Chain A
Amino acid sequence: MPWLWGVSLAVLLPAVAWALFLSPADWQQGETVRIMYVHVPMAWLAMSGYAGLAVASVLALVWKHPLADLAARELSPVGAMVTALCLATGSLWGQPMWGTWWAWDARMTSVLVLFFLWVGHAAITRAFEDEERGARMGAILALVGVVNLPIVKFSVDWWNTLHQPASVARLAAPGMHISMLGPLLACAAGFSLLFGTLVLARVRAAVMERRVQALELARAREADRIPPATVPA
């Protein structure tokens, strides 16, 4: 694990320096454009992470893989955090650019729904005493919520929104100069590695916690079976 943290930071730290200090300011937005280098990776991670949650849910529901349940359970708080960061950084970017912190347009509202789906999954998987039941309910919720992903992606094309349309992932060439596209992709790679490492670290901690629980249970059962030593009269 330490090497994975090392690789993530080795990619992320130069990307942060590139984004904050070496890339140019925008001719219209000025320095505020530097929020893009965190906002866009958080948005991509919120969506791709949710797709990962859906895959883990299918694996858990169909093949009953125990690690898939655990991965989904540990993924949802991280997914909720990146979606919250996407909304918060978007708001911080929107206020100086649009003159408002929030608008109920299709893109922002559908991302807010995505945030509620993440939080709902995290809550429902922890709400039942029977963990298997919670995992099953969480998997169903995750799969129902997949319908929101294309709505988030295409909301800017289907409706008139305050939010701008796609600038990077589009059929034509990206509508962004390479001096900004470079640090954006580098930040996306760094944050993706950090996201994956964080989820793996949480899964690893959860596996260890289960081992502790299993051992404690085994010891308790053993103690119940064996009568206490009798003291000779």
Chain B
Amino acid sequence: MSAHWIHVVAAWGLVVAGFGGLTLGAALRHRVAARRLRELERSPRRVA
């Protein structure tokens, strides 16, 4: 692989890592919040 291609691969790799990381982060946040919401909605409310 030529030195030029190394720069190309590094640049594209950073973009994939950046978008991939934030996408995974958003998916994880959504999953955690959705699970907690389901738990809260399932748990019985205390009625006076």
Contact = CB atoms under 8 A, between A and B. Distances in A.
A216 interface: yes
Contacts, number: 90
A223 interface: yes
A223 B26 contact: no
Contacts of A22: none
Interface residues of A, number: 39
- Most A Cβ at <10 Å: residue of B15, B23, B34: B15
Interface residues of B, number: 29
Contacts of A219: 40, 43, 45
Given A204-B30, A205-B29, A225 B48 contact: yes
A21 to B, nearest CB: 11
Interface in A37-65: 38-39, 42
A226 B46 contact: yes
A31 B4 CA distance: 6
A85 B15 contact: yes
Contacts of A20: 8, 12
A17 interface: no
Interface of B: 2-5, 7-8, 10-12, 14-15, 18-19, 22-23, 26-27, 29-30, 33-34, 36-37, 40-41, 43, 45-46, 48
Given A82-B18, A209-B29, A219-B43, 13 more contacts: A31-B2, A32-B7, A35-B7, A77-B22, A85-B14, A93-B11, A96-B7, A202-B22, A208-B34, A219-B40, A222-B45, A222-B46, A223-B46
